[in-house]
Structure 1
Amino acid sequence: MFAWENFYKINNPYLIDAHFHLNYLTDIKASLSSALNSSVKSGIVAGIWNNDTLENLSFIENPDLHNLIFFKKEKANINLIQENHFVCFLAHGLHPIYVHEKWLNLDGTCNNDLIQTDIKNFKEILYKNINYIWAIGETGFDLSKEILQSEKCKNLTKQDIILLQNIAFEVCVQAAIQYSLPLILHLRGNWNLCLQKIKWAKKSGVKKIMVHCFSGPAEDMKVLSHLSIYCSFGGVPTWKKAIKNRNAFLQCDPNFLMLETDSPDLPPEISDIDKLQKNEPKYLKNIAEILAKYSNTELDYFIKNSNKNILTFLGVF
């Protein structure tokens, strides 16, 4: 079992980042050192596509990243946490924002051979590295302007795009079921559709689901809590103008609330600091401080509660 006391000092709790992109950080070595100095000791490394998972796995043997540890699934390794190491829990996914880039030809038609090849590779990477992979994702649905206005999608309907993204989504759902792994979702667009897909995944047999960087309506928080869906929040609710997202955060059941950075994206707004251009795991501490005040929660408890939920989601204990 997990040595809980290893993750805390009495008056200085460590922080776990529920979602960040390791291989997209500009300077990984410097970012990890800064995170450790800010008491951010661990995080879930998001999976974007097959090549990203392989790149993250390559860091295991990188001597320059000596302060980086990827935990294996064997429980004995959980007790190896040390203050001078950043501990990663690796996820493996097929992100919806890349589906059209990877699987559509220039004229918007499907490249069926490439779809089958990527699905085969996704399954092989998971099978060969199952001891290092703690979660499936991120996967899901995205109908943002970035996708709808892209060159490959200009002649497609929203339904066409959803059907294409659903291929990746169902592959990830089946993988989560097959290997009894939690599922990390990226959901941006038609929230009614997203809610239907969450319910379908749960009914199909996915035991644990996390909606990372939650952007849905506050009024559905009770529904998600009833379904035992974890919701992760990062820099967005710290923005003064993000009233709707902050309200959703405030309505989230504490038993299913997590803190993330989504580094290097969506940096927080921090008083007395110029507008940040990129996010890093080190800013999780600032996010926690700001959101704890908004929720009128004692910071130490707020951090420990998020950590507990993250480790429960991962199945660490």
Structure 2
Amino acid sequence: MAAVGAGGAERPRLSLRWREAINFYLFLAPWILGFLAFTAIPIIASLFLGFTKYNAISPPDFVGLKNFRFLYDDQIFWKSLRVTLTYTVVFVPLQLVSSLLLAMLLNLRVPSMRTIRTIYYLPSILPTVVTGLVWIWLFNADFGLINFFLYKAFEIRGPNWLGSERWVMSAVIISGLWALGGGVIIFLAALQNVPGEFYEAAELDGANILHRFWHVTVPMISPVILYNLMIAMILSLQVFTRIYVLTQGGPNYASYFYNLYVYDNAFSYLKLGLASAQAWILFVLILLLTVLALRTSGRWVHYSGGV
């Protein structure tokens, strides 16, 4: 009787565990299905298509490394890669410095600072297409507000920003600096977490404001600098919508970014296999740069409680 009683008590316990496990997987199932349908399966399919000739009409034809060999010999591919890397090398440092300086200003204790912070954050949540159209008007060579200001303030006739190979990259960079809100908010949170006693100790030691910034602020927020650096780098290499609205790659491929070429191959020319190969090349490039940033971060990133 004792054995039967023990077995009867064990069965409800096991059935309870099964019910908990079933409930757990049922709650998890929507995310798993969504991940498989919209992330995992498309990634695997893209990797496979990168080795095929596929136009979305006929079945994929396996061609091995032919797509990658074609890109290696393709001048437009290298042009788009060079444009993207040039933009990234120039834009990322400008964005980091501008975001940090703006965050330091927004960290000051002045009246209505919360309202001012909200105003500076708003551009980062506006739709990219809308802001792109606004910048087209601002950069207009004939009646744009920027050239109007240059003429009225300095009597300088502004350039054809979006129609000149010489100036189009400058216009793209300026339009990108418009939306600094995300990085500013992250820097602002980091600045507010720096203990005030560190600044007081540095001031007692005779450190001026620049020394306090370089020897106290920068080391304390260095993990956040690394984070913003990596996010800015990845987004710069993947930039598409704003460029498509502003220039569509012109003039003469001067702003023909990498993802514009991927888009054209995929949807304009229906070369989906070639576009998939391009996407994986970009993935590998971003992965290598990310690993490089992480490997070198040990020399300048300082974590509290760490070395």
Of the two, which has the highest radius of gyration?
2
TM norm structure 1? 0.24
More strand by share: 1
Give the structure, 1 or 2, with the largest relative contact order (CA under 8 Å, sep 6 or more): 2
